[in-house]
Protein backbone atom coordinates (compact mmCIF):
# COMPACT_ATOMS: atom_id res chain seq x y z
CA UNK A 1 0.00 0.00 0.00
CA UNK A 2 1.59 3.32 -1.03
CA UNK A 3 2.30 5.87 1.64
CA UNK A 4 0.04 8.89 1.62
CA UNK A 5 1.73 12.18 0.82
CA UNK A 6 2.56 14.31 3.82
CA UNK A 7 2.35 11.46 6.33
CA UNK A 8 5.83 10.31 7.43
CA UNK A 9 6.37 6.70 8.23
CA UNK A 10 6.69 6.33 11.96
CA UNK A 11 8.49 3.28 13.35
CA UNK A 12 6.02 0.98 15.04
CA UNK A 13 8.16 0.43 18.07
CA UNK A 14 7.20 0.18 21.68
CA UNK A 15 9.91 0.85 24.18
CA UNK A 16 10.49 -2.24 26.25
CA UNK A 17 10.23 -1.91 29.99
CA UNK A 18 13.59 -2.40 31.64
CA UNK A 19 14.02 -4.69 34.61
CA UNK A 20 16.10 -3.36 37.47
CA UNK A 21 16.81 -6.91 38.61
CA UNK A 22 17.91 -7.97 35.13
CA UNK A 23 20.03 -4.86 34.59
CA UNK A 24 21.91 -5.27 37.86
CA UNK A 25 22.34 -8.98 37.14
CA UNK A 26 23.75 -8.20 33.70
CA UNK A 27 26.22 -5.66 35.07
CA UNK A 28 27.40 -8.16 37.70
CA UNK A 29 27.57 -11.30 35.55
CA UNK A 30 28.91 -9.74 32.35
CA UNK A 31 32.28 -8.75 33.93
CA UNK A 32 32.40 -12.14 35.66
CA UNK A 33 31.90 -14.03 32.40
CA UNK A 34 34.40 -11.79 30.59
CA UNK A 35 37.00 -12.24 33.30
CA UNK A 36 36.69 -16.03 33.25
CA UNK A 37 38.44 -16.57 29.83
CA UNK A 38 41.12 -14.11 30.90
CA UNK A 39 41.55 -16.13 34.09
CA UNK A 40 41.99 -19.31 32.04
CA UNK A 41 44.65 -17.71 29.86
CA UNK A 42 46.55 -16.32 32.84
CA UNK A 43 46.27 -19.70 34.60
CA UNK A 44 47.73 -21.42 31.55
CA UNK A 45 50.69 -19.05 31.43
CA UNK A 46 51.27 -19.35 35.16
CA UNK A 47 51.07 -23.15 34.98
CA UNK A 48 53.67 -23.20 32.21
CA UNK A 49 56.04 -21.13 34.32
CA UNK A 50 55.46 -23.19 37.46
CA UNK A 51 55.95 -26.49 35.59
CA UNK A 52 59.20 -25.34 33.99
CA UNK A 53 60.97 -24.18 37.14
CA UNK A 54 61.92 -27.58 38.72
CA UNK A 55 63.04 -29.04 35.40
CA UNK A 56 65.04 -25.91 34.60
CA UNK A 57 66.83 -26.20 37.93
CA UNK A 58 67.68 -29.85 37.18
CA UNK A 59 69.12 -28.89 33.78
CA UNK A 60 71.21 -26.13 35.36
CA UNK A 61 72.64 -28.54 37.94
CA UNK A 62 73.44 -31.08 35.24
CA UNK A 63 75.32 -28.46 33.20
CA UNK A 64 77.36 -27.44 36.23
CA UNK A 65 78.23 -31.04 37.10
CA UNK A 66 79.45 -31.72 33.55
CA UNK A 67 81.40 -28.47 33.49
CA UNK A 68 83.21 -29.48 36.68
CA UNK A 69 84.46 -32.64 34.92
CA UNK A 70 86.39 -30.68 32.28
CA UNK A 71 90.16 -30.96 32.80
CA UNK A 72 93.16 -29.54 30.92
CA UNK A 73 95.16 -32.00 28.82
CA UNK A 74 98.44 -30.47 27.65
CA UNK A 75 97.33 -27.85 25.15
CA UNK A 76 93.70 -29.09 24.97
CA UNK A 77 90.86 -30.16 27.22
CA UNK A 78 89.38 -33.48 28.09
CA UNK A 79 86.24 -34.53 30.00
CA UNK A 80 86.19 -37.11 32.72
CA UNK A 81 82.81 -38.67 31.87
CA UNK A 82 82.43 -42.45 31.78
CA UNK A 83 80.03 -44.29 29.50
CA UNK A 84 77.82 -45.26 32.43
CA UNK A 85 77.58 -41.68 33.53
CA UNK A 86 76.69 -40.62 29.99
CA UNK A 87 73.97 -43.26 29.82
CA UNK A 88 72.69 -42.14 33.17
CA UNK A 89 72.27 -38.60 31.80
CA UNK A 90 70.01 -39.93 29.07
CA UNK A 91 68.04 -42.23 31.39
CA UNK A 92 64.58 -40.64 31.14
CA UNK A 93 61.45 -42.63 30.43
CA UNK A 94 59.43 -39.66 29.15
CA UNK A 95 61.67 -37.06 27.55
CA UNK A 96 64.71 -37.33 25.28
CA UNK A 97 67.84 -35.85 26.85
CA UNK A 98 70.72 -34.43 24.82
CA UNK A 99 74.08 -33.13 25.98
CA UNK A 100 77.08 -31.66 24.27
CA UNK A 101 80.63 -30.71 25.36
CA UNK A 102 82.74 -28.59 22.98
CA UNK A 103 86.37 -27.80 23.66
CA UNK A 104 87.92 -24.38 23.55
CA UNK A 105 88.72 -24.98 19.91
CA UNK A 106 85.11 -25.91 19.11
CA UNK A 107 85.73 -29.63 18.72
CA UNK A 108 83.18 -32.10 20.14
CA UNK A 109 84.57 -33.68 23.26
CA UNK A 110 81.45 -35.65 24.21
CA UNK A 111 77.72 -35.92 23.57
CA UNK A 112 75.53 -35.00 20.60
CA UNK A 113 76.78 -32.92 17.73
CA UNK A 114 73.24 -31.97 16.59
CA UNK A 115 72.58 -29.45 19.36
CA UNK A 116 72.75 -26.00 17.77
CA UNK A 117 75.19 -23.49 19.27
CA UNK A 118 73.82 -20.70 21.42
CA UNK A 119 72.99 -17.34 19.92
CA UNK A 120 75.12 -15.41 22.42
CA UNK A 121 78.83 -15.91 23.09
CA UNK A 122 80.74 -16.26 26.38
CA UNK A 123 79.95 -13.90 29.26
CA UNK A 124 81.82 -13.13 32.45
CA UNK A 125 81.01 -15.20 35.53
CA UNK A 126 80.42 -18.57 33.87
CA UNK A 127 76.63 -18.02 34.18
CA UNK A 128 74.30 -20.86 33.19
CA UNK A 129 71.68 -19.73 30.70
CA UNK A 130 68.44 -21.25 29.40
CA UNK A 131 66.82 -21.12 25.98
CA UNK A 132 64.20 -22.87 23.84
CA UNK A 133 65.42 -24.48 20.61
CA UNK A 134 64.85 -27.44 18.30
CA UNK A 135 66.74 -30.70 18.03
CA UNK A 136 65.63 -33.31 15.48
CA UNK A 137 62.40 -31.25 15.00
CA UNK A 138 61.58 -31.55 18.69
CA UNK A 139 61.05 -28.56 20.95
CA UNK A 140 63.86 -28.70 23.47
CA UNK A 141 64.68 -26.75 26.60
CA UNK A 142 68.44 -26.20 26.66
CA UNK A 143 70.72 -25.11 29.51
CA UNK A 144 74.26 -24.03 28.48
CA UNK A 145 77.39 -22.63 30.09
CA UNK A 146 80.73 -21.32 28.85
CA UNK A 147 83.36 -22.86 31.13
CA UNK A 148 86.93 -21.49 31.47
CA UNK A 149 89.14 -24.37 32.53
CA UNK A 150 92.58 -22.82 32.01
CA UNK A 151 92.93 -19.27 33.30
CA UNK A 152 93.39 -16.94 30.39
CA UNK A 153 92.41 -19.67 27.92
CA UNK A 154 89.43 -19.96 25.61
CA UNK A 155 86.18 -21.20 27.22
CA UNK A 156 84.58 -24.54 26.53
CA UNK A 157 80.82 -24.97 25.93
CA UNK A 158 78.59 -27.35 27.87
CA UNK A 159 74.93 -27.79 26.76
CA UNK A 160 72.22 -30.08 28.08
CA UNK A 161 68.81 -30.25 26.38
CA UNK A 162 65.55 -31.97 27.22
CA UNK A 163 62.25 -32.29 25.40
CA UNK A 164 59.21 -30.72 27.06
CA UNK A 165 56.78 -33.60 27.52
CA UNK A 166 57.03 -33.75 31.32
CA UNK A 167 56.64 -29.97 31.53
CA UNK A 168 53.48 -30.07 29.43
CA UNK A 169 52.04 -32.87 31.51
CA UNK A 170 52.78 -31.04 34.76
CA UNK A 171 51.29 -27.81 33.39
CA UNK A 172 48.19 -29.71 32.33
CA UNK A 173 47.80 -31.21 35.79
CA UNK A 174 48.18 -27.78 37.36
CA UNK A 175 45.58 -26.30 35.01
CA UNK A 176 43.18 -29.15 35.73
CA UNK A 177 43.60 -28.63 39.42
CA UNK A 178 42.89 -24.92 39.09
CA UNK A 179 40.32 -24.72 36.28
CA UNK A 180 38.13 -27.71 37.03
CA UNK A 181 36.99 -26.28 40.39
CA UNK A 182 36.08 -23.06 38.56
CA UNK A 183 33.45 -24.94 36.56
CA UNK A 184 31.78 -25.69 39.88
CA UNK A 185 32.51 -22.34 41.51
CA UNK A 186 31.20 -20.26 38.59
CA UNK A 187 27.60 -21.61 38.62
CA UNK A 188 27.60 -21.34 42.40
CA UNK A 189 28.77 -17.73 42.12
CA UNK A 190 26.00 -16.97 39.60
CA UNK A 191 23.44 -18.58 41.91
CA UNK A 192 24.73 -16.60 44.89
CA UNK A 193 24.56 -13.36 42.88
CA UNK A 194 20.99 -14.19 41.89
CA UNK A 195 20.02 -14.92 45.48
CA UNK A 196 21.78 -11.79 46.73
CA UNK A 197 19.92 -9.62 44.21
CA UNK A 198 16.62 -11.24 45.07
CA UNK A 199 17.35 -10.68 48.75
CA UNK A 200 18.43 -7.08 48.15
CA UNK A 201 15.32 -6.25 46.10
CA UNK A 202 12.96 -7.96 48.56
CA UNK A 203 12.23 -4.64 50.38
CA UNK A 204 11.07 -3.16 47.06
CA UNK A 205 8.68 -6.06 46.57
CA UNK A 206 7.43 -5.61 50.14
CA UNK A 207 6.93 -1.88 49.48
CA UNK A 208 5.01 -2.73 46.32
CA UNK A 209 2.73 -5.06 48.24
CA UNK A 210 2.14 -2.47 50.96
CA UNK A 211 1.13 0.12 48.38
CA UNK A 212 -0.98 -2.35 46.39
CA UNK A 213 -2.92 -3.46 49.49
CA UNK A 214 -3.77 0.10 50.48
CA UNK A 215 -7.39 1.25 50.16
CA UNK A 216 -8.00 3.68 47.32
CA UNK A 217 -8.81 6.49 49.77
CA UNK A 218 -5.71 5.98 51.94
CA UNK A 219 -3.34 8.84 51.11
CA UNK A 220 -1.37 8.72 54.35
CA UNK A 221 2.45 8.91 54.06
CA UNK A 222 4.45 5.74 53.51
CA UNK A 223 6.75 4.86 56.41
CA UNK A 224 10.25 5.40 54.99
CA UNK A 225 11.95 3.75 57.97
CA UNK A 226 11.17 0.29 56.59
CA UNK A 227 12.75 0.81 53.18
CA UNK A 228 16.43 0.79 52.13
CA UNK A 229 18.35 4.03 52.36
CA UNK A 230 18.70 4.22 48.56
CA UNK A 231 14.90 4.09 48.12
CA UNK A 232 14.18 6.70 50.81
CA UNK A 233 14.31 9.71 48.39
CA UNK A 234 11.80 7.96 46.11
CA UNK A 235 9.48 7.21 49.04
CA UNK A 236 9.78 10.80 50.25
CA UNK A 237 8.88 12.06 46.76
CA UNK A 238 5.85 9.74 46.73
CA UNK A 239 4.85 11.00 50.19
CA UNK A 240 5.09 14.56 48.94
CA UNK A 241 2.88 13.66 46.00
CA UNK A 242 0.40 11.93 48.31
CA UNK A 243 0.31 14.97 50.57
CA UNK A 244 -0.39 17.28 47.64
CA UNK A 245 -2.97 14.86 46.28
CA UNK A 246 -4.68 14.65 49.67
CA UNK A 247 -4.74 18.42 49.98
CA UNK A 248 -6.17 18.72 46.47
CA UNK A 249 -8.76 16.02 47.18
CA UNK A 250 -9.83 17.71 50.41
CA UNK A 251 -10.10 21.02 48.60
CA UNK A 252 -12.24 19.42 45.91
CA UNK A 253 -14.48 17.73 48.46
CA UNK A 254 -14.93 20.96 50.38
CA UNK A 255 -15.48 22.83 47.15
CA UNK A 256 -18.13 20.38 45.94
CA UNK A 257 -19.88 20.38 49.30
CA UNK A 258 -19.95 24.18 49.41
CA UNK A 259 -21.04 24.36 45.78
CA UNK A 260 -23.90 21.93 46.37
CA UNK A 261 -24.96 23.93 49.43
CA UNK A 262 -24.83 27.23 47.57
CA UNK A 263 -26.74 25.92 44.56
CA UNK A 264 -29.55 24.53 46.68
CA UNK A 265 -30.86 27.99 47.58
CA UNK A 266 -31.49 29.38 44.06
CA UNK A 267 -32.69 26.01 42.81
CA UNK A 268 -35.10 25.65 45.77
CA UNK A 269 -36.39 29.17 45.14
CA UNK A 270 -36.83 28.40 41.46
CA UNK A 271 -38.79 25.24 42.27
CA UNK A 272 -40.95 27.04 44.85
CA UNK A 273 -41.85 29.84 42.44
CA UNK A 274 -42.65 27.31 39.74
CA UNK A 275 -44.98 25.48 42.13
CA UNK A 276 -46.67 28.76 43.11
CA UNK A 277 -47.21 29.66 39.47
CA UNK A 278 -48.61 26.19 38.81
CA UNK A 279 -51.04 26.50 41.71
CA UNK A 280 -52.17 29.91 40.46
CA UNK A 281 -52.91 28.45 37.05
CA UNK A 282 -54.62 25.33 38.45
CA UNK A 283 -56.78 27.39 40.83
CA UNK A 284 -58.17 29.32 37.89
CA UNK A 285 -57.43 32.71 39.41
CA UNK A 286 -54.49 33.42 37.15
CA UNK A 287 -53.68 36.79 38.72
CA UNK A 288 -51.33 38.46 36.20
CA UNK A 289 -49.47 40.34 38.90
CA UNK A 290 -48.89 37.19 40.99
CA UNK A 291 -47.80 35.23 37.93
CA UNK A 292 -45.49 38.03 36.87
CA UNK A 293 -43.95 38.17 40.33
CA UNK A 294 -43.42 34.41 40.29
CA UNK A 295 -41.84 34.53 36.85
CA UNK A 296 -39.56 37.39 37.90
CA UNK A 297 -38.50 35.42 40.94
CA UNK A 298 -37.85 32.40 38.73
CA UNK A 299 -35.79 34.52 36.35
CA UNK A 300 -33.75 35.96 39.24
CA UNK A 301 -33.20 32.51 40.73
CA UNK A 302 -32.10 31.06 37.39
CA UNK A 303 -29.80 34.05 36.84
CA UNK A 304 -28.20 33.53 40.26
CA UNK A 305 -27.80 29.81 39.56
CA UNK A 306 -26.22 30.50 36.16
CA UNK A 307 -23.88 33.06 37.73
CA UNK A 308 -22.98 30.57 40.44
CA UNK A 309 -22.23 27.86 37.87
CA UNK A 310 -20.06 30.24 35.82
CA UNK A 311 -18.14 31.25 38.92
CA UNK A 312 -17.70 27.61 39.91
CA UNK A 313 -16.31 26.81 36.46
CA UNK A 314 -13.95 29.79 36.64
CA UNK A 315 -12.76 28.72 40.08
CA UNK A 316 -12.18 25.14 38.93
CA UNK A 317 -10.32 26.34 35.83
CA UNK A 318 -8.11 28.66 37.86
CA UNK A 319 -7.21 25.91 40.34
CA UNK A 320 -6.65 23.16 37.76
CA UNK A 321 -4.47 25.00 35.27
CA UNK A 322 -0.71 25.33 35.38
CA UNK A 323 -0.44 28.77 33.80
CA UNK A 324 3.35 28.98 33.97
CA UNK A 325 3.51 26.75 30.89
CA UNK A 326 1.43 29.29 28.89
CA UNK A 327 2.93 32.54 30.22
CA UNK A 328 3.44 35.19 27.57
CA UNK A 329 4.16 38.92 27.57
CA UNK A 330 0.85 40.65 28.36
CA UNK A 331 0.22 44.39 28.14
CA UNK A 332 -1.77 44.92 31.33
CA UNK A 333 -2.80 48.42 30.25
CA UNK A 334 -4.42 47.23 27.00
CA UNK A 335 -5.95 44.20 28.71
CA UNK A 336 -7.52 46.35 31.46
CA UNK A 337 -8.99 48.72 28.86
CA UNK A 338 -10.47 45.78 26.98
CA UNK A 339 -12.08 44.40 30.15
CA UNK A 340 -13.50 47.79 31.10
CA UNK A 341 -15.49 47.98 27.85
CA UNK A 342 -17.51 44.93 28.90
CA UNK A 343 -18.67 46.64 32.10
CA UNK A 344 -19.73 49.99 30.61
CA UNK A 345 -23.39 48.95 30.05
CA UNK A 346 -23.61 47.51 33.56
CA UNK A 347 -22.16 50.69 35.07
CA UNK A 348 -24.64 52.81 33.11
CA UNK A 349 -27.55 50.65 34.27
CA UNK A 350 -26.57 51.13 37.92
CA UNK A 351 -25.72 54.84 37.47
CA UNK A 352 -22.16 54.25 38.68
CA UNK A 353 -19.27 56.49 37.69
CA UNK A 354 -16.84 54.00 36.08
CA UNK A 355 -13.37 55.29 35.23
CA UNK A 356 -9.97 54.11 34.12
CA UNK A 357 -6.52 55.51 34.80
CA UNK A 358 -3.48 54.09 33.06
CA UNK A 359 -0.64 54.73 30.59
CA UNK A 360 -2.99 54.69 27.60
CA UNK A 361 -5.26 57.37 29.17
CA UNK A 362 -4.68 60.73 27.54
CA UNK A 363 -2.97 63.27 29.69
CA UNK A 364 -2.18 60.79 32.46
CA UNK A 365 1.12 59.51 33.84
CA UNK A 366 3.40 61.64 31.74
CA UNK A 367 6.87 60.26 31.12
CA UNK A 368 5.77 56.63 31.33
CA UNK A 369 6.85 54.48 28.37
CA UNK A 370 4.02 52.98 26.24
CA UNK A 371 5.06 49.43 27.12
CA UNK A 372 5.68 50.13 30.79
CA UNK A 373 2.74 47.90 31.80
CA UNK A 374 4.17 44.77 30.14
CA UNK A 375 4.08 41.71 32.42
CA UNK A 376 4.67 37.99 32.01
CA UNK A 377 1.45 36.11 32.62
CA UNK A 378 -1.56 34.14 31.40
CA UNK A 379 -3.80 36.55 29.50
CA UNK A 380 -7.04 34.56 29.96
CA UNK A 381 -6.57 34.24 33.72
CA UNK A 382 -5.51 37.88 34.12
CA UNK A 383 -8.63 38.92 32.23
CA UNK A 384 -10.69 36.79 34.63
CA UNK A 385 -8.94 38.43 37.60
CA UNK A 386 -9.64 41.99 36.40
CA UNK A 387 -13.24 41.12 35.50
CA UNK A 388 -13.91 39.68 38.94
CA UNK A 389 -12.40 42.71 40.72
CA UNK A 390 -14.36 45.21 38.62
CA UNK A 391 -17.55 43.12 38.76
CA UNK A 392 -17.24 42.79 42.54
CA UNK A 393 -16.79 46.56 42.89
CA UNK A 394 -19.84 47.29 40.69
CA UNK A 395 -21.84 44.69 42.58
CA UNK A 396 -21.31 46.22 46.02
CA UNK A 397 -21.16 49.90 45.07
CA UNK A 398 -24.56 51.62 45.41
CA UNK A 399 -26.08 53.74 42.67
CA UNK A 400 -24.39 57.11 42.30
CA UNK A 401 -21.05 55.74 43.50
CA UNK A 402 -17.70 55.54 41.72
CA UNK A 403 -15.48 52.66 40.60
CA UNK A 404 -11.99 53.28 39.26
CA UNK A 405 -9.62 50.81 37.62
CA UNK A 406 -5.95 51.83 37.57
CA UNK A 407 -2.80 50.40 35.99
CA UNK A 408 0.14 52.13 37.66
CA UNK A 409 3.67 51.28 36.46
CA UNK A 410 6.43 51.55 39.02
CA UNK A 411 8.64 54.59 38.32
CA UNK A 412 11.68 52.39 38.95
CA UNK A 413 10.47 49.81 36.41
CA UNK A 414 10.24 46.86 38.81
CA UNK A 415 6.51 46.16 39.15
CA UNK A 416 3.15 47.07 37.62
CA UNK A 417 0.33 47.76 40.08
CA UNK A 418 -3.29 46.97 39.23
CA UNK A 419 -5.84 48.75 41.46
CA UNK A 420 -9.63 48.66 41.68
CA UNK A 421 -11.16 51.33 43.93
CA UNK A 422 -14.83 51.81 44.79
CA UNK A 423 -16.94 54.01 47.04
CA UNK A 424 -19.01 51.17 48.49
CA UNK A 425 -19.50 50.16 52.12
CA UNK A 426 -15.98 48.73 52.37
CA UNK A 427 -14.88 45.58 54.20
CA UNK A 428 -14.09 45.50 57.94
CA UNK A 429 -10.52 44.71 58.88
CA UNK A 430 -11.55 41.51 60.68
CA UNK A 431 -13.11 40.11 57.51
CA UNK A 432 -10.49 41.11 54.94
CA UNK A 433 -8.63 37.80 55.13
CA UNK A 434 -11.90 35.84 54.93
CA UNK A 435 -13.35 37.46 51.82
CA UNK A 436 -10.76 35.61 49.69
CA UNK A 437 -12.11 32.24 50.88
CA UNK A 438 -14.64 30.47 48.64
CA UNK A 439 -18.34 31.19 49.35
CA UNK A 440 -17.62 33.81 52.01
CA UNK A 441 -19.58 37.06 51.85
CA UNK A 442 -19.01 40.06 54.03
CA UNK A 443 -21.51 40.48 56.83
CA UNK A 444 -23.91 43.39 56.93
CA UNK A 445 -24.48 43.60 53.16
CA UNK A 446 -27.87 42.99 51.59
CA UNK A 447 -26.31 42.33 48.19
CA UNK A 448 -26.67 38.81 46.87
CA UNK A 449 -23.54 37.14 45.48
CA UNK A 450 -21.80 33.81 44.93
CA UNK A 451 -18.85 34.43 47.24
CA UNK A 452 -16.41 33.09 44.64
CA UNK A 453 -15.18 36.18 42.81
CA UNK A 454 -12.44 37.17 45.26
CA UNK A 455 -11.45 33.52 45.77
CA UNK A 456 -10.83 33.29 42.02
CA UNK A 457 -8.81 36.52 42.18
CA UNK A 458 -6.63 35.16 45.01
CA UNK A 459 -6.00 31.87 43.17
CA UNK A 460 -5.00 33.58 39.91
CA UNK A 461 -2.76 36.01 41.80
CA UNK A 462 -1.07 33.07 43.57
CA UNK A 463 -0.39 31.35 40.26
CA UNK A 464 1.28 34.55 39.04
CA UNK A 465 3.45 34.81 42.14
CA UNK A 466 1.62 37.82 43.54
CA UNK A 467 -0.79 38.70 46.34
CA UNK A 468 -3.85 40.90 46.49
CA UNK A 469 -3.91 43.52 49.24
CA UNK A 470 -7.13 45.10 50.55
CA UNK A 471 -7.53 48.38 52.39
CA UNK A 472 -9.98 51.23 52.77
CA UNK A 473 -10.20 53.54 49.77
CA UNK A 474 -10.71 56.66 51.90
CA UNK A 475 -9.55 57.80 55.30
CA UNK A 476 -12.22 58.20 58.02
CA UNK A 477 -12.07 61.99 57.80
CA UNK A 478 -12.53 61.99 54.02
CA UNK A 479 -15.75 59.95 53.85
CA UNK A 480 -18.76 62.01 52.68
CA UNK A 481 -21.94 61.71 54.73
CA UNK A 482 -24.02 58.66 53.87
CA UNK A 483 -21.19 56.87 52.07
CA UNK A 484 -18.84 54.10 53.11
CA UNK A 485 -15.03 54.00 53.24
CA UNK A 486 -14.90 52.04 50.01
CA UNK A 487 -12.45 49.27 49.16
CA UNK A 488 -9.10 49.42 47.38
CA UNK A 489 -7.76 46.16 45.91
CA UNK A 490 -4.13 46.26 44.79
CA UNK A 491 -2.23 43.59 42.82
CA UNK A 492 1.48 44.02 42.06
CA UNK A 493 2.98 42.01 39.19
CA UNK A 494 6.63 41.90 38.18
CA UNK A 495 7.27 44.02 35.12
CA UNK A 496 8.71 42.33 32.04
CA UNK A 497 12.16 43.86 31.44
CA UNK A 498 12.30 43.40 27.67
CA UNK A 499 10.27 46.34 26.32
CA UNK A 500 12.68 47.06 23.44
CA UNK A 501 12.79 43.42 22.32
CA UNK A 502 9.02 42.81 22.48
CA UNK A 503 7.18 42.89 19.18
CA UNK A 504 3.54 43.34 18.46
CA UNK A 505 3.13 39.62 17.77
CA UNK A 506 4.79 38.62 21.02
CA UNK A 507 2.42 40.54 23.29
CA UNK A 508 -0.81 38.76 24.19
CA UNK A 509 -3.37 41.46 24.94
CA UNK A 510 -6.63 39.55 24.28
CA UNK A 511 -7.97 42.55 22.38
CA UNK A 512 -10.17 42.58 19.30
CA UNK A 513 -8.83 44.14 16.13
CA UNK A 514 -11.50 46.84 15.99
CA UNK A 515 -10.91 48.09 19.54
CA UNK A 516 -9.95 51.73 19.97
CA UNK A 517 -8.03 53.28 22.88
CA UNK A 518 -10.23 54.24 25.80
CA UNK A 519 -10.25 57.72 27.20
CA UNK A 520 -9.50 58.33 30.84
CA UNK A 521 -13.17 57.99 31.82
CA UNK A 522 -14.87 54.95 30.37
CA UNK A 523 -18.33 55.65 31.77
CA UNK A 524 -19.27 58.88 33.44
CA UNK A 525 -22.97 58.67 34.17
CA UNK A 526 -24.51 60.96 36.75
CA UNK A 527 -27.02 59.46 39.15
CA UNK A 528 -30.59 59.73 38.07
CA UNK A 529 -33.28 61.00 40.36
Encode pLDDT of 297-311 as tens digits. Answer: 777 777 767 766 776
Q: What is the pLDDT of residue 365?
A: 44
10 Å Cβ neighbour count for 174? Answer: 18
pLDDT over 60 (residue 508):
no
C-alpha 331/C-alpha 341 separation (Å) is 16
E strands, 193-323, are: none
Could you tell me what percent of the chain has a pLDDT over 70?
A: 77
- When pLDDT is averaged across residues 473-487 and rounded to a whole number, the result is 79
- When pLDDT is averaged across residues 495-516 and rounded to a whole number, the result is 50
Q: What is the pLDDT of residue 433?
A: 81
Q: What share of the chain is helix, strand, coil (3-state, %, to 5)?
A: 50, 15, 35
Instruction: Using pLDDT thresholds of 50, 70 and 90, give the confidence band for residue 243.
Output: confident
Q: Taking CA 56 as the corner, what is the angle to CA 51 and CA 57, rounded to the nearest 5 degrees? A: 110
Q: What is the pLDDT of residue 418?
A: 93
Encode pLDDT of 143-187 as tens digits. Answer: 998 888 878 778 889 999 999 888 888 888 888 887 778 778 878
pTM: 0.46
- When pLDDT is averaged across residues 429-455 and rounded to a whole number, the result is 68
Instruction: Using pLDDT thresholds of 50, 70 and 90, give the confidence band for residue 516.
Output: very low
Instruction: Using pLDDT thresholds of 50, 70 and 90, give the confidence band for residue 451.
Output: low
| DSSP code for 495 | B
Domains and CATH numbers, the chain: 22-171 (3.30.450), 232-313 (1.10.287.130), 323-494 (3.30.565.10)
Secondary structure element (H or E) that encloses residue 490, with its range? strand 487-494
Asked if 339 contacts 390 with a C-beta cutoff of 8 angstroms, the reply is yes
Q: What is the pLDDT of residue 510?
A: 46
Give the chain's mean pLDDT.
77
- When pLDDT is averaged across residues 202-216 and rounded to a whole number, the result is 82
C-alpha 38/C-alpha 126 separation (Å) is 40
Q: Are strands 374-377 and 328-331 parallel, antiparallel or unpaired?
A: antiparallel
C-alpha 462/C-alpha 329 separation (Å) is 18
Strand partners, 304: none
Half-sphere exposure for 241 (CA within 13 Å, toward CB): 7
Q: Which whole-number Å values give the CA distances from 71 to 102, 158, 504, in the listed order?
A: 13, 13, 115
Residue 466 CA to its chain's centroid (Å): 28
Q: What is the pLDDT of residue 324?
A: 62
Asked if 426 contacts 484 with a C-beta cutoff of 8 angstroms, the reply is yes
Q: Which whole-number Å values give the CA distances from 235 to 200, 222, 226, in the listed order?
A: 17, 7, 10
Of 43, 51, 108, the residue nearest 77 (C-alpha): 108
Instruction: Please report the DSSP string for 184-228 in residue order.
Output: HHHHHHHHHHHHHHHHHHHHHHHHHHHHHTS-TT--PPP-GGGS-
pLDDT over 80 (residue 320):
no
Asked if 396 contacts 346 with a C-beta cutoff of 8 angstroms, the reply is no
Instruction: Using pLDDT thresholds of 50, 70 and 90, give the confidence band for residue 481.
Output: confident
User: Phi and psi of 159, rounded to 5°?
Assistant: -130, 140
Structure-model confidence comparison of residues 342 and 528, the more confident one: 342
| DSSP code for 347 | H
- When pLDDT is averaged across residues 440-453 and rounded to a whole number, the result is 58
Amino acid sequence: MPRRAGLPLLPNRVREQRSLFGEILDWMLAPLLLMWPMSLALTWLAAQGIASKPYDRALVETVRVIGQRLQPDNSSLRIDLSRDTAQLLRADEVDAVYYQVLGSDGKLLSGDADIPPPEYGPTAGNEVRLRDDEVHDDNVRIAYQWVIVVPGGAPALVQVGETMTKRSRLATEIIKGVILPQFVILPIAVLLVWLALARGLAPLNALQQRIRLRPSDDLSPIDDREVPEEVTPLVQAINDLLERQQSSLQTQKRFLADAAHQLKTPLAGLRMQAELATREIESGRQDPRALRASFEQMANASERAAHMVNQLLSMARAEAQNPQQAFKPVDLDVLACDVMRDFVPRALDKAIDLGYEGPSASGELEGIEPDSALVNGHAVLLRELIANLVGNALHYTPAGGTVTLRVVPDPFGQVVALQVEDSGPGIPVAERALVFEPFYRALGTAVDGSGLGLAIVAEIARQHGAEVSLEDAREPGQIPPGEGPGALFTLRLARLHTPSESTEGDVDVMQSSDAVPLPTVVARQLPTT
